[in-house]
Amino acid sequence: MGFTLGIGDGARDFRLQGTDGNIYTLDSFRHAKALVVFFTCNHCPYVLGSEEITRRTAEQFTEQGVAFVAINSNSSQTNPEDSFENMVERMEEKKFPWVYLHDKGQEVALAYGALRTPHFFVFNDRRKLVYTGRGVDNPRETANMTVNNLQEALEAISAGKPVPTPVTNPIGCNVKWEGRDKHWMPEEACDLV
């Protein structure tokens, strides 16, 4: 297996605190028809540039029984903006339609093989991975985007069809790993396609 989960792999369990104070596990979303787990943060320009597109996609598909889980695995030592306190403030301000979880120990980012922020993992009703990669092809400047891969994947799942492009490279800042240079990535991490 590569660093990042591959198509057909099962969702990895987690036990993380949300900005709402609750603890969430994979089982917390057992009734969802599909599950979107995405790694994000508070400061990345690619996250900030595309978060309203992600919001619209989430609002559209939440109504169809899809659950959305945002996870911040960035080290607040590397980037203080990514502290849990700032996560709470951000959710209070933005009121995103997903739970926002803190992966302080970075174990979940390693279990999923998160490469960048944002990095999306879409699982079907059996919690098998059917899409991984970017949300859109130009997350920093969505006015210039040509495709919303996340929406495309969710439309296919909702229609009972295979995802047309199941793997894309995530576009964004790399995950900020504890005790490492802010541009460091694990040696075994590489592009997906």
Using one digit for the tens of pLDDT, what is the confidence trace for 146-184? 999 999 999 999 999 999 999 999 999 999 999 888 888
Q: In the Cβ-directed half-sphere of 69, how many Cα atoms lie within 13 Å? A: 32
Mark residue 180 as left, alpha or beta (left: phi above 0; alpha: psi -120 to 50; beta: remaining).
beta
Kindly tell me if the per-residue pLDDT of 1 is higher than 70. Answer: no
144, two tokens: 């210039």
pLDDT greater at residue 78 or residue 38: 38
40-52 per-position pLDDT tens digit: 999 999 999 999 9
Residue 78 CA to residue 97 CA, distance in Å, equals: 27
Q: Which of 157, 159, 171 is nearest to 115 (CA)?
A: 171
Is the pTM higher than 0.85? The answer reads yes
pLDDT: is 116 or 185 the higher one? 116
Enumerate long-range contacts of 20-28, CB under 8 Å, 24 or more apart.
20/91, 20/99, 22/99, 24/69, 24/99, 24/101, 26/127
Handedness of CA 176, 180, 183, 189 (dihedral sign): negative
User: What average pLDDT does the chain have?
Assistant: 95
Residue 15 vs residues 28, 29, 99, 135, 186: alpha-carbon distances, Å: 10, 12, 13, 24, 23
For the chain, what's the residue count? 193
- For residue 84, the one-letter residue type is F
- Stronger pLDDT, 26 or 191, i.e. the higher one: 26
